[in-house]
């Protein structure tokens, strides 16, 4: 791009560079807005604004990284989940819209019980716990992660959204040394080790948050086998799952006995969440 490049020309250039992505214009506009430290709305409102050389350099670097496969959220430094923007970086997984199912169901459970005890296991950048804290002002919330790096990012996000004092963050392996809860939310690793090493997601996002072992079920089974001792009577486990839905349901029925165990579909109709109610 030339030194007299305008916003419009920069966006068109980005669209061309990112033409193999699903939404090249959206991504080009987001990366340009990031490079200018402005909103995407500003980009739309100032099509003839001229870019400085440093901005052009930053934008071109972002385009190159994105074209090489770097996830867009890591490049812009934030991503939306449940209508809240979260700071994201390589310390934790990028929030996915399918995980919003857990928040929606936890809210429906807690709405009639203002002092519900809830824990978000494997909190990552804090999405589930923070979304619940902003919508349930009287709930008692905990968030655990085995990764101190992920917890530090979650704390940053909880502070920026004004709910740090509402959530107790604990470094723990799942629910080790934790008490009992009315609702346990969990989005845990469920890819196989092979998938983690070969899929695009494994090239950029932390393996500790993806790798579920040889069959993808190691951590899922550990969670299901121990969750019952951490649920109050009438409590509920909500867990995001991958492709092994039938085996996961069988596990839940084995470990929870007479509890109500069921799989809930995502918007595409695929089993996406295990719900167990004791």
pTM: predicted TM-score of the whole model, two decimal places: 0.94
Contact between 14 and 31 under an 8 Å Cβ cutoff? The reply is: yes
pLDDT in tens, 204-258: 999 999 999 999 999 999 999 999 999 999 999 999 999 899 999 999 999 999 8
Q: Which residue shows structure tokens 């393996």?
A: 207
Point out the least confidently predicted range of 113-117, 138-142, 170-174.
Answer: 113-117
β-sheet bridge partners, residue 183: 118, 236
Q: What is the DSSP string of 149-208?
A: HHHHHHHHHHHHTT-GGGEEEEE-STTTT---EEEEEE----B-HHHHHHSHHHHHS-GG
Helix-strand-coil percent breakdown of the chain, rounded to 5? 45, 20, 35
The closest alpha carbon to 43, from 12, 64, 70, belongs to 12
Q: Is the pLDDT of residue 1 over 80?
A: no
Please check whether residue 54 lies inside any domain of the structure. Answer: yes
pLDDT in tens, 36-72: 999 999 999 999 999 999 999 999 999 999 999 999 9
Contact between 242 and 188 under an 8 Å Cβ cutoff? The reply is: no
More confident residue, 84 or 111: 84
User: Which pLDDT value is given to residue 66?
Assistant: 98
| CA distances (Å), origin 221, targets 113, 206, 234, 257 | 29, 21, 21, 15
**Residue-number span of the structural domain to which 31 is assigned:** 7-76
Q: Are residues 136 and 26 in the same domain?
A: no
Q: Are residues 179 and 106 in the same domain?
A: yes
Q: Are residues 125 and 198 in the same domain?
A: yes
Q: Are residues 174 and 248 in the same domain?
A: yes
Tell me what the pLDDT averaged over the chain comes to.
96
- Packing angle of the helix pair 7-17, 53-67 (nearest 10 deg): 20
Please check whether residue 61 lies inside any domain of the structure. Answer: yes
User: Which pLDDT value is given to residue 3?
Assistant: 66
Find the mean pLDDT for residues 112-133: 95
Alpha-carbon gap, residue 152 to 125, rounded angstroms: 8
Please check whether residue 1 lies inside any domain of the structure. Answer: no
Q: Are residues 233 and 112 in the same domain?
A: yes
Confidence of residue 268 (pLDDT cuts 50, 70, 90): very high
Residues with Cβ within 8 Å of 219's Cβ and at least 6 positions away in sequence, in order, are 174, 188, 189, 190, 212, 213
Q: Is the pLDDT of residue 177 over 80?
A: yes
Cα four-point dihedral sign 244, 189, 272, 75: negative
Please check whether residue 84 lies inside any domain of the structure. Answer: no
User: Which pLDDT value is given to residue 112?
Assistant: 79
Final residue before a domain boundary, out of 27, 42, 76: 76
Share of the chain above pLDDT 90, in %: 96
- Please state, as a whole number, how many other Cβ atoms lie within 10 Å of the Cβ of residue 155: 17
Q: Are residues 102 and 68 in the same domain?
A: no
Q: Is the pLDDT of residue 18 over 90?
A: yes
Contact between 151 and 145 under an 8 Å Cβ cutoff? The reply is: yes
The closest alpha carbon to 187, from 167, 206, 171, 209, belongs to 209
Q: Are residues 266 and 236 in the same domain?
A: yes
Number of structural domains the chain divides into: 2
| CA distances (Å), origin 156, targets 131, 141, 160 | 14, 16, 6
Q: Is the pLDDT of residue 2 over 80?
A: no
């Amino acid at each position: 791009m030339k030194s007299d490049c305008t916003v419009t020309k920069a966006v068109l250039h980005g669209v061309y560079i990112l033409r193999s992505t699903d939404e090249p214009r959206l991504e080009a506009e987001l990366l340009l807005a990031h490079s200018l430290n402005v909103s995407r709305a500003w980009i739309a409102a100032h099509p003839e604004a001229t870019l400085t050389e440093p901005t052009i350099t930053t934008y071109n670097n972002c385009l190159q990284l994105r074209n090489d496969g770097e996830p867009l959220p890591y490049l812009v430094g934030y991503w939306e989940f449940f209508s809240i923007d979260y700071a994201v970086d390589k310390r934790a997984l990028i929030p996915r819209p399918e995980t919003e199912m857990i928040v929606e169901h936890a809210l429906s459970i807690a709405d009639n019980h203002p002092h519900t005890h809830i824990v978000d296991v494997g909190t990552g950048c804090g999405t589930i716990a923070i979304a619940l804290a902003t919508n349930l002002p009287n709930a008692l919330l905990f968030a655990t992660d085995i990764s101190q790096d992920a917890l530090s990012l979650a704390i940053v996000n909880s502070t920026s959204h004004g709910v740090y004092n509402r959530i107790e963050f604990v470094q723990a392996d799942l629910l080790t040394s934790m008490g009992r809860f009315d609702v346990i939310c969990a989005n845990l690793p469920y890819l196989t080790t092979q998938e983690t090493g070969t899929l695009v997601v494994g090239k950029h996002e932390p393996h500790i948050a993806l790798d579920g072992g040889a069959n993808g079920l190691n951590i899922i089974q550990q969670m299901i086998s121990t969750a019952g001792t951490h649920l109050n009577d009438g409590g509920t486990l909500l867990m995001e799952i991958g492709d092994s839905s039938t085996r996961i349901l069988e596990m839940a029925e084995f470990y929870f006995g007479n509890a109500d165990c069921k799989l809930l579909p995502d918007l595409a109709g695929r089993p996406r969440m295990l719900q167990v109610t004791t």
